[in-house]
Structure 1
């Protein structure tokens, strides 16, 4: 039984329509019969897109979120580990009932992970996905133009 709502027929002009998951369905490099040959224009198109202002903007937006978030999360984790090993009396201090500082901080690690995952997905949806999809469309159109 199919529980997903019907979204209608797939659009053949959708640039994501023929996108494969990483490695699935692609020929194996060791198979001599299956040779992947990219059109000579592909390198030119992707070099042009890589140098475009839109692509650089997507990368800049990605880096501005990911690098500080990763650094903050790593620092938070290291503080927890260092406190657990160097301040056992502090970590053993009771907070509420049987919960001590170490348990609360450990649970906060999980909460922080989920919060960071949510923030990353929201940031990607609001700040990068639309621009990235437009870039994908432009790239597909450029590839069609070179193929003619």
Structure 2
């Protein structure tokens, strides 16, 4: 990695600007976005489908399943909570395995720490 903590590297630039232009930071940002944006889009589509079905497909959402109290709408609503927890677990696992180590190394280099 390039020495990002060296203030003489580019005169007139702030430390943040030097870090932001570094290949290491650009790689971190690209990897973060390539994981988070698709999951966010998928969740938003799933959420809006639920809202639209609840608003405009009353007959479908009120179909009873199994017993008298369980409906399609109830399962979709509970699915919102389940999908939130699944996405959180996926992100935590992804960050622990593929993101945090590189981010910590970049932070140590920027701050000049040898942790």
TM-score, L = length of structure 1: 0.64
Instruction: Give the gaps of 5 or more residues in structure 1.
Output: 1-40, 143-148
Aligned match of 2:103: 132
2:41 is aligned with 1:86:
no
**Shift, 1:128, TM fit:** 1.1
Misfit runs of 4+, over 6 Å: none
**Shift, 1:124, TM fit:** 1.2
Structure showing the higher helix proportion among its residues: 2
Answer whether contact 1:46 1:139 (CA < 8 A) is retained.
no
**Shift, 1:120, TM fit:** 1.1
Once the two structures are superposed, what CA deviation does each residue of 1:67-121 show, in whole Å capped at 9, x if it has no partner? 1111110100000010111110100001121200000000010000000111111
TM-score, L = length of structure 2: 0.82
2:46 is aligned with 1:103:
no
Once the two structures are superposed, what CA deviation does each residue of 1:4-47 show, in whole Å capped at 9, x if it has no partner? xxxxxxxxxxxxxxxxxxxxxxxxxxxxxxxxxxxxx4x54332
d(CA) in 1 for partners of 2:48 and 2:70? 21
Equivalent residue pairs, number: 101
2:20 is aligned with 1:50:
yes
